[in-house]
Chain A
Amino acid sequence: MKVIMLGLLNRIILTIFISIITTSSFAEEINTKYLNTDWSFKGIFGTFERASLQRGYQVYQEVCSGCHSVQHLSYRNLFEKGGPEFSIEEAKAIATQFEVEDGPNSDGEMFMRSGRLSDKFVKPYPNVEASTAANGGAYPPDMSVLAKARAGGADYIYSLLLGYEEAPTGFELDDGVYYNKYMPGNKIKMSAPLLDGIVEYSDGTQATTEQMAKDVTAFLVWASEPHLEAQHRMGFKAIIYLIILLTLVYMSKQKVWSRFGSKEEPKEETFDKVEKVVTKYEGEDPKTFK
């Protein structure tokens, strides 16, 4: 019985394991070939580097925001805990750089005013159609949840930003289409967005293409999961708490069940009876049966 049960347990655990592997494999199999770098936000203690997120915001603002919206972020998110953590003044200053349409006012007119912390990030185009039309028929995707919307996540975005190459000979490219090693189908309508020194970091960090790609990717990961740090912190605490609770509950369970243990004696009695009968015939040496 024990042996059967143990075998059963092993097999079932293996089965669950395999099924989890298989089900997640379709998301992961492309993943392996991406470039990656030491992301600070990976792992159970993963947190963002504030400076990197602030630089990432700068890259987004100066390079990406011409075409890509991040419509689910608000300016207040820039100073909130767990993000780039600009000071509240800096965040206000950023917000006021933008013109936001508001209204209607008491005359029924829409009007423009400068941005506030409570405003959502201003979009470069009023709607998807305008955005598509202005970008040669390809909609530059909203980047609010981009890191979660692509298989490969951060690694994919990072690789894509660094994946521009000369097209191999014989690879047909239309005008306004570029070759990218990591884009599915290798054709992308966005020209290489990052060039060395395209932004000037105020903290003195060298604005190499790799550095900018890393910073802006971190920024996008934060944009799609602004509570990531809280999530990791709470998860760690919750699991430690549960493990302690489990230990206590398991010990109580053993204690409770031990009350019932005495009831299992009949087994031994039967065993003894069988042994007694056999010994009667075979003498004192029951080893012959082993």
Chain B
Amino acid sequence: MSENKYIPKTKLAKWFDSRLPLLSLSHHLKEYPTPKNLNYWWTFGGILTFCLITQIITGVILGMHYVAHTDHAFESIEHIMRDVNYGWLLRYVHANGASMFFLAVYIHIFRSLFYGSYKAPREVIWIIGVIIYLLMMATAFMGYVLPWGQMSFWGATVITNLFSAIPLVGESITTWLWGGYAIDNPTLTRFYALHYLLPFLIFGLIILHIWALHVPGNNNPTGIDIKKNSNETMPFHPYMVMKDITALLVFIIIFFWFVFFAPNALGHPDNYIEANPLVTPTHIVPEWYLLPFYAILRAIPSKLGGVIFMFAAIFVLVLLPWLDTSKVRSSIFRPLYRKFFWVLVATVILLGYLGAKPPEGIYLVLSRIATAYYFIHFLILLPVLGRYEKTDQLPMSISDPVLNKPGLIDKFKKAAGQYEGDNVGSFK
């Protein structure tokens, strides 16, 4: 299935396309060759685009009713929930949409880790992805501040105070972020402005992310290069579009389950108490999707150290394409890496769990071990594995029978190899 060049059918199309090649672009998007062996873990890119658009649409409408003022923010949310037509629906979709957005992005990231999608020639896609992830966290954090509940206020206090750990200029930076000497109305209004702005930056970066993807094309579960103009690919439309929509509908069903039947399950009850600078909640916890980083922050005994490690935990991802020295992309052919991958998943989930617990006793010890392991995985295990791991034999192509009937075919191959010499490739 090769990607043929767009040939305008009418004079008008030709006239327009030679001036602005939008028709060529849409033709490319339709015909874009995708590996035919992409599984459902590859549908999360589309799902994430859906999430962003949903957040922007619901967010813009919520913005028409929300009042970014410390005296009115909490009240205006209740106004939305009670008096705006379907305001409750908009707000619950927006609030749970953030959680679902992160659920999808975590699956998307771990898919990339599992199948080695960050490796050459896809480093730039990956790095743009990490920046998008970082912006998502900033956007979500500022969005959580807007309802001006207790967790909004105290979450903002904890996070903005982190910057005061920077030597010499820390205090000034914090004051600058707050727009005053405490978290107050100027903080809320600037968070609102930025919360409105950042999603559009994310949108722009997603375009770059997809553009960068369309240069080398998709990775695939085997991680081996595909021949672009062969029967190993299929056009994006209708094949991948149909698959993406199928997965998206499953995702929306789960999403709506939360929206309609457990809309507050992922939030903290304290955020329904209006912000009060004089009363500190017993435990200040961020939203669930930030918990692993919160655990890393608190695992380090010094404040500055905690901040450095927290940001390093994200920055280390930027270096990942060079830290992982293995030439083999997919962990399907990396028996050792595959095990360590699952240990990493477990570690991140453990960190998330610990982030919700008070930093004391066994929780603190565990979060230190998990933090250490997180960095060991990226900084030591990956470079070492790349050098010493004995990877499984790669198939010749994504349609190699090895992938489909491993046991039987391997035996055939072995037996055939005895007679025909080791060049099993001659059967292809």
Q: Do A and B come from one complex?
A: yes
Q: Choose from B39, B243, B268, B415 the contact partner of A289 (Cβ within 8 Å).
A: B415
Contact, CB under 8 Å: A234 / B89: yes
- Nearest CB in chain B: distance from A236 CB, A: 8
Contact, CB under 8 Å: A250 / B246: yes
Q: A149-B270, A260-B36 are in contact. Are A242 and B252 (CB under 8 A)?
A: yes
Contact, CB under 8 Å: B401 / A270: yes
- Nearest CB in chain A: distance from B357 CB, A: 7
A149 to B152, CA, bound (A): 13
Contact, CB under 8 Å: B245 / A238: no
List the B residue with the shortest CB-CB distance to A153: B269
Does A150 have its Cβ within 8 Å of any Cβ on chain B?
yes
SS class, residues of chain A in contact with chain B: helix
Contact, CB under 8 Å: A23 / B352: yes
Chain A, range 222-251, C-beta contacts under 8 Å to B:
224-227, 230-232, 234-236, 238-239, 242-243, 245-246, 249-250
Q: Which residues of A contact B268 (CB under 8 A)?
A: 27
Fill in one digit per residue for A127-144: 1 if any B CB lies within 8 Å of its CB, else 0. Answer: 000000000000001001
List the B residue with the shortest CB-CB distance to A185: B282
Does B234 have its Cβ within 8 Å of any Cβ on chain A?
yes
Please tell me which stretch of A85-93, A106-114, A272-280 contacts chain B, meaning at least 4 of its Cβ atoms lie within 8 angstroms of it: A272-280
A4 to B291, CA, bound (A): 30
Fill in one digit per residue for B391-415: 1 if any A CB lies within 8 Å of its CB, else 0. Answer: 0000000011101111011011101
List the B residue with the shortest CB-CB distance to A73: B82
Q: Which residues of B contact A101 (CB under 8 A)?
A: none
List the A residue with the shortest CB-CB distance to B354: A22
Does B210 have its Cβ within 8 Å of any Cβ on chain A?
no
Fill in one digit per residue for B166-205: 1 if any A CB lies within 8 Å of its CB, else 0. Answer: 0000000000000000000000000000000000000000
- Nearest CB in chain A: distance from B97 CB, A: 15
Chain B interface, number of residues (Cβ within 8 angstroms): 73
Q: Which residues of B contact A285 (CB under 8 A)?
A: none
A184 to B282, CA, bound (A): 10
Contact, CB under 8 Å: A239 / B257: yes
Contact, CB under 8 Å: B82 / A44: no
Q: Which residues of A contact B285 (CB under 8 A)?
A: 26
Fill in one digit per residue for B46-76: 1 if any A CB lies within 8 Å of its CB, else 0. Answer: 0000000000000000000000000000010
Please tell me which stretch of A10-18, A171-179, A207-215 contacts chain B, meaning at least 4 of its Cβ atoms lie within 8 angstroms of it: A10-18
A143 to B63, CA, bound (A): 26
A15 to B349, CA, bound (A): 8
Contact, CB under 8 Å: A24 / B265: yes
Q: A1-B332, A16-B103, A289-B415 are in contact. Are A260 and B427 (CB under 8 A)?
A: no
Contact, CB under 8 Å: A145 / B428: no
Contact, CB under 8 Å: B260 / A234: yes
Q: A24-B265, A260-B239 are in contact. Are A242 and B253 (CB under 8 A)?
A: yes
- Nearest CB in chain B: distance from A81 CB, A: 13
Q: Which residues of A contact B257 (CB under 8 A)?
A: 235, 239
Q: Choose from A12, A27, A234, A235 the contact partner of B265 (Cβ within 8 Å).
A: A27
Fill in one digit per residue for B13-49: 1 if any A CB lies within 8 Å of its CB, else 0. Answer: 0000000000000000000000010010100000000
Contact, CB under 8 Å: B406 / A239: no
Contact, CB under 8 Å: B249 / A242: yes
Interface centre among A1, A238, A286 (most CB of B within 10 A): A1
Contact, CB under 8 Å: A246 / B269: no
Chain B, range 264-285, C-beta contacts under 8 Å to A:
264-266, 268-270, 272-273, 282-283, 285
List the B residue with the shortest CB-CB distance to A44: B261
Contact, CB under 8 Å: B416 / A231: no
Q: Which residues of A contact B415 (CB under 8 A)?
A: 278, 282, 289
Contact, CB under 8 Å: A149 / B349: no
Q: Which residues of B contact A150 (CB under 8 A)?
A: 269
Please tell me which stretch of A50-58, A61-69, A161-169, A261-269 contacts chain B, meaning at least 4 of its Cβ atoms lie within 8 angstroms of it: A261-269
Q: Which residues of A contact B114 (CB under 8 A)?
A: 8
Contact, CB under 8 Å: A27 / B261: no
Contact, CB under 8 Å: A23 / B266: yes
Known: A2-B404, A26-B356, A227-B82. 8 other contacts (CB 8 A): A25-B353, A27-B269, A72-B75, A184-B282, A256-B238, A267-B404, A273-B427, A275-B412
18 CB contacts below 8 A, A to B, read A5-B221, A27-B268, A77-B82, A148-B264, A149-B273, A153-B269, A226-B82, A232-B260, A234-B260, A249-B245, A249-B249, A253-B246, A257-B243, A263-B231, A271-B401, A273-B427, A277-B420, A289-B408
A residues touching B (Cβ–Cβ < 8 Å)? Answer: 1-2, 4-5, 8, 11-12, 15-16, 18-19, 22-27, 44, 72, 77, 141, 144-146, 148-151, 153, 184, 224-227, 230-232, 234-236, 238-239, 242-243, 245-246, 249-250, 252-253, 256-257, 260, 263-264, 266-267, 270-271, 273-275, 277-278, 281-282, 286, 289-290
